[in-house]
Amino acid sequence: MAFWLFKSEPDVFGWDDLVARGEAGEEWDGVRNYQARNFMRAMKLGELGLFYHSNIGKQAVGIVQVVAEAHPDSTADDPKWDCVDIKAVRPLPRPLSLEQAKREPALKDMVLVNNSRLSVQPVSDDEWAAILKLAGL
DNA sequence: GCCAACGTTGGC
DNA sequence: GCCAACGTTGGC
């Protein structure tokens, strides 16, 4: 069971938008980065991730679940781009800010902290546990 | 709005 | 196959 992090600009597509999709979830399309794509290809049905708001808020705000494994991105011209579908599971009682993650010793190796540009990232088991605790779950 | 970091592209 | 130029992302 692996854990992930999905980044999105909330003024384009935010947590509330994902919640509005309900159980069907949303195709996580538009990713045009090989690293991010490869992480999505590695995702298994039912795995969990964080939903992070970049630019505005700069905090992880909710937990999401993979509801469809990697499939061709319907918005891509090139078949090499795959994506998964995710749905909202629950909001974090206490959103985890980037600032907080940078301060937290347990999270100092998070990809989010060290490579801010990668839009789909893995989260280690230890990081996941630490984040849930900080988030009030 | 600026700029650093990073990835991609294309000329050689 | 190298590397300069360029575009994009995202924190500040």
pLDDT in tens for each of the 137 residues of chain A? 899 999 999 999 999 999 999 999 999 999 999 999 999 999 999 999 999 999 999 999 999 999 999 999 999 888 899 999 999 999 999 999 999 999 999 999 999 999 989 999 999 999 999 999 999 99
Q: Is the CB of A55 under 7 A from strand C?
A: yes
Give residue A35's pLDDT.
94
The 3-class secondary structure across chain A, one letter per residue, is CCEEEEEECCCCCCHHHHHHHHHHCEECCCCCCHHHHHHHHHCCCCCEEEEEECCCCCEEEEEEEEEEEEEECCCCCCCCCEEEEEEEEEEEEEEEEHHHHHHCHHHCCCHHHHCCCCCEEEECHHHHHHHHHHHCC
Which residues constitute the domain of residue A21?
A: 3-135
Residues 32-91 of A with CB under 7 A from strand B: 33-35
User: In this structure, what CATH number is given to the domain that contains residue A36?
Assistant: 3.10.590.10
Question: Distance from residue A53 (CA) to nucleotide B1 (C1'), in Å?
Answer: 20
**Number of domains making up chain A:** 1
